[in-house]
Amino acid sequence: MVADYRIEHWTSACSVVGSSKDSAITISVNNRAATRQAIINTLSRKGYKLIERSTWHAKPPRDMLTPASWDYRDVVIHHAGHSYTCAVNARGAIEQIQKAQEYDMKKFYDIGYHYAVSCSGELIEARDIRYTGSHVAGENTGKIGIVLLENLAEAGEAWQQEYSRKSLWEKLRGSLDIARDAVAFNHATPTKMQIDALLALIETLIEYFNITALGGHREYQLLAPGNEGRACPGRYGMQVVKEMRAKFRLGAPSK
């Protein structure tokens, strides 16, 4: 039997105008695996083949992750930080995501972000979107984390945003990091390929979730309990944030 409705999106579908049915049928398919796959398919139609966890041989989470509340409203932009420089190809980007997962798994059950974007414009699946991320201090519910795989901060930004707020003891303890920050002149600026890939990713996420706000990690961090500063995503990352907010007419972080 041929159905009278056509699935436009996995999350909602309506009857085709002019179908033989009198009233519109609205169906909601709340199948999260299907939504994850639909995101991958939409990206693929836009010319981006998402490098899935299975492709980059992601380690399985150390323990049970929290299933997402599925009302994603915020997109949080991060940069990978000082120890990252632009990878030259997909293989390099995969090495970076593996390194990021290794680092994050010292603290969390899995890599904290949901997606990563390399300098050359590869899109990579990080934490499965079906699970709440671990990328902002305080509340991660409803927040999709995207990391740009390079350092987008200028030397001294970590001092301005983070260490200057800390106690003398913490400053002493962090002196190596502070020294490293002061001479970290190896920052990148985002490439056009990376920006284009990020645009495609955000546009796709907006199709599947009711995204209302977008911001940099440092903006969300200031709203978190304790108000600790963060340099992430750096001065150049914040320029990207502002461009994306304007382009998609999204609000600034409010929670």
Check binding of 36 to Zn ion (CB under 5 A). no
Q: In the complex with Zn ion, which residue's Cβ is closer, 121 or 215?
A: 215
Q: Count residues contacting Zn ion (CB under 5 A)?
A: 3
Interface residue with Zn ion among 78, 82, 114, 143 (CB under 5 A) is: 78
Pairing of strands 115-117, 143-148: parallel
Beta strands in 47-152 (DSSP E): 74-79, 115-117, 123-125, 143-148
Tell me how far CA of residue 97 lies from CA of 103, 126, 148, in angstroms: 10, 8, 10
Place of tokens 């709203």: 223
Stretch that binds Zn ion, among 70-78, 84-92, 102-110, 180-188 (CB under 5 A): 70-78
Stretch that binds Zn ion, among 37-45, 75-83, 167-175, 247-255 (CB under 5 A): 75-83
Stretch that binds Zn ion, among 32-40, 74-82, 87-95, 164-172 (CB under 5 A): 74-82
Asked if 157 and 234 touch (Cβ cutoff 8 Å), the reply is yes
To Zn ion, the closest distance from the beta carbon of 244 in angstroms equals 15
CA distance 19 to 7: 14
Half-sphere exposure of 110 (CA within 13 A, CB side): 22
To Zn ion, the closest distance from the beta carbon of 228 in angstroms equals 12
Interface residue with Zn ion among 36, 114, 187, 217 (CB under 5 A) is: 217
In 46-191, alpha helices (H): 90-104, 157-161, 168-173, 175-182
Q: In the complex with Zn ion, which residue's Cβ is closer, 78 or 187?
A: 78
Check binding of 232 to Zn ion (CB under 5 A). yes
What is the contact mask toward Zn ion in residues 47 to 66, using x (rule: CB under 5 A)?
--------------------
CA distance 87 to 99: 12
Where in 85-144 is the site for Zn ion (CB under 5 A)? Answer: none
Residues that bind Zn ion (CB under 5 A): 78, 217, 232
